[in-house]
Amino acid sequence: MECNDGISHRQHPNIEKEDLVMNSESIDTERLLMESEKQTYTNKLSSWEMESLTALCDTLLPAVDPPESTTDESVVRFYRTSASMNGTPEHVGRMISQRLRQHVLLGRIILVLLATRLGTFVLGLLGGGLPNLSPRYPFLLKCSEMSLEKRQQLVLSWRTSWFYLVRMIFFGMKRLISVVYFTQVDDNEDYNPIWEAIGYCGPDPYFISKKASESNKQSAYLTPKSLHNQPKEDLCGPLYKGIINVKCTQEILIESLKHSNFQVSINRKKKDCQMQVITIKCDVVVVGSGSGGGVAAGVLASLGYKVLVIDKGDYYARTNLSLLEGPTLDQMYEGAGLLSTKDLGVNILAGSTVGGGSTINWSASIRTPPHVIKEWADVHELEIFDSPLYKEALDVVCEKMEVQSDIDVSDEGFNNAVLRKGCLELGYPVVNIPQNAPKNHNCGWCCLGCKDGKKKSTCETWLKDVVNSGNGAILTGCEVAKVLYGRQKGRNRDTAKGVMFDITSSNDRQSSCVIVEAKATIIACGALNTPALLRRSGLNNKNIGKNLHLHPVVMAWGYFPDSEPLSSLLSDNQGDQVWPEKQKKSYEGGIMTTMSTVVADFNDSGYGTVIQTPSLHPGLFSAMMPWTSGLNIKHRMTKFSRTSHMFALARDMGSGVISTSPFDIKYKMHPIDEANLQKGIEKMLRILAAAGAEEIGTHHYSGSSINVKKASFHEFEKFVKKESSKAIQGLSMPIASAHQMGSCRMGINPRTSVVNQRGESWEVEGLYLADSSVFPTALGVNPMVTVQAISYCTTQSVLEFLRRRKTC
């Protein structure tokens, strides 16, 4: 197990575990070491399943001949290397066996069917073809026996099948295999031989160089004394004094809590019973450490209240990050970054780490738009949003995050430079996006965690207040089972009493039930997990889990070659030279600094789309790009580093439902939302062309594109009109979501909402919700500032509640 600086017990056996205990001011480092422990998974698929899986991997990503003009050895090797030659089937098998949480049974049934001749025949029939027929006995072939050409015909038939489940097979398998193939790393966990061919450097080179240099210095002079003298924030992160990982031994867990001045008691009900009950007492328990929970915990702890923060994710400090796409998706994202709605119609990205979405978001810090505030205050009659308190909240949270909007346009990242230039050329409105990071924070890896703490996530702001106040601690790796509440004598409704969860220590395998008794309970696990927790806890409000909004996103892309056109070599015309600059890559630079509101409709209905830019490293890039053949996808991936993406984000009128699990999500897009997204596609294609892209296209499964430089005006207009009128729903193209909200909405009536204006549950007194789940409607822009502002207001209500309890 390695600490954040790369030091391990194995490397330095002369250092005992006791020597790694910081000092009397800090919590035992053992649980911090556990945060970086490598997670290994076992492949439990049968030989039949692996035979089919290998055939599918080599169908989607086969060994093919490179174009004749290719001379780069790494590119030639990339074309000639199949997925199985790279070990991808084994990696995918492990993911299916132990990491996937959705459609695992369906996937395994399909693999078994493909391992049989009859099963392959049936799946071909459902796709509308019979590619496994053979003129020789036994006349039918199973998937692994078919030629590459026939297997690709089979897979392509699934893409447009009349049977929706078969379409799900295609898009699900294509997404999973693509992500794994382009993110898997070698045994040293730092390299994938494919990356060189596609122009990808892997983790930020500066970060890796700095980390290696510091590690070498520490290794050369490492002694228990030098370890004690090293700045502890550098060693184990800014929250080192407050993190308690529940995977540590129960002895360390209890001692750490007591060391943080929590009252802890142990009760074993029976002498022969191994299950013991650990009771922790505090003023406030906060479930979730993201933008909502972090604010609430920070404010309350700073005012002297004893606060226990609980998060199911782990803590990854600055120097403990890998900045590797695959491992980070697995460690810091819900469902390993592969979460989707039940029908695979929307791919969902959500943080699942200490700091929540604020740890892995793209720094956009946009205040609640005025037209949304007006709608929430006037239409939904929520006076809080038009109050001085909410205005104060917006100012406070923006000041805390050091939000600024001074963008260095001359050194803007690849994607944002393209969006800005295209909009200026066309006369479309374009604005700077405020950032919770300094002007010089041009980092394209912040979706994998912030390497230097310059992005002011809750780990760098509010949670630091919790730890530095001495009034709180943060339990990590801990999933709350249910909220505790009961009816007190003389009351007409239930009162919150705290939360409960089970733990099993990784060392002694001892299981315990932990009860946290609190005067006030704040749930802030996000719009996916909060309603699921409330349902599991037995709350009956029919609105819990309903009205889920996802800010659906669709994308368009443009390819900008990094070689100068022939015309510029034969003339002095500087306008034809390479732009964006040759050294710029699509995955580098500030992720989201520019936005266009050309189809946002802010001044009318308020329901339109904004156009922004995404962060796409190779795994997610390949998952989004359409697949028409193994040769085509490899051709597309060789253009990865110079392919610009932008997306249209809809303020959705459609909504979804969540049950007792965040992995059981149903969502229905409203026709107006689809129409708005189509308008966004039309504008994005024009922006990309105006910015100078050589080739443009969308993610529609047909894979259509056009060479803008060679097309006539009529051909270009025809292409734009056709692509922007194509269907979006029904797995026609990938739809993504990075913002989830509204699943426990705020309102003035318990018949139509879950919480009141104070953020308190209509059903349970002293139970507060403080995250994006309480949004009355979709927001329409990035929600971090709005979440924090609402949480700040809700926290004032919690303070009033605590004061009332104190005087009772």
The helix/strand/coil state of 435 is strand
Angle at 367 between CA 787 and CA 288, to 5 degrees: 15
H helix or E strand, kind and range, residue 643: strand 643-650
Ordered DSSP codes for 455-497 = S--GGGTHHHHHHHHTSEEEEES----EEEEEPPTT-SSEEEE
The helix/strand/coil state of 516 is strand
213 burial level (CB within 10 Å; 0-12, 13-18, 19+): exposed
Half-sphere exposure of 529 (CA within 13 A, CB side): 28
H helix or E strand, kind and range, residue 278: strand 276-287
Closest residue by Cα to residue 373 from 362, 363, 383: 383
Closest residue by Cα to residue 389 from 763, 766, 759: 759
Beta partners for 679?
A: none
What the block records as the tokens of 165 is: 């489940």
Q: Which residue has the tokens 């906060």?
A: 286
Q: Which residues of 291-300 are buried (b: 16+ CB within 10 A; e: fewer)?
A: bbbbbbbbbb
Distances (CA, A) of 472 to 45, 95, 426, 454: 44, 36, 53, 24
The active-site residue out of 103, 549, 699, 739 is 739
What the block records as the tokens of 300 is: 């309350």
Which residues 6+ apart lie within 8 Å of 38 measured at CB? 189
Q: Which residue has the tokens 């191994």?
A: 274
What the block records as the tokens of 671 is: 């026709």
d(CA 282, CA 284): 6
Question: Do residues 53 and 89 make contact, with C-beta atoms less than 8 angstroms apart?
Answer: yes
Q: How many C-beta neighbours within 10 Å does residue 751 have?
A: 9
Beta partners for 472?
A: 307
Residue type at 42 in one-letter notation = T
Question: Do residues 358 and 294 make contact, with C-beta atoms less than 8 angstroms apart?
Answer: yes
Closest residue by Cα to residue 29 from 216, 318, 241, 217: 241
Question: Do residues 207 and 451 make contact, with C-beta atoms less than 8 angstroms apart?
Answer: yes
d(CA 718, CA 704): 12
Backbone angles phi, psi at 576, to 5 degrees: -95, 0
> Does the active-site annotation cover 549?
no
Distances (CA, A) of 283 to 86, 597, 658, 798: 53, 45, 30, 11
CA dihedral 614, 702, 110, 660 (to 10 degrees): 40
609-612/643-650 β-pairing: antiparallel
Beta partners for 267?
A: 277
H helix or E strand, kind and range, residue 226: helix 224-229
d(CA 575, CA 607): 38
* Residue positions annotated with a catalytic role: 739
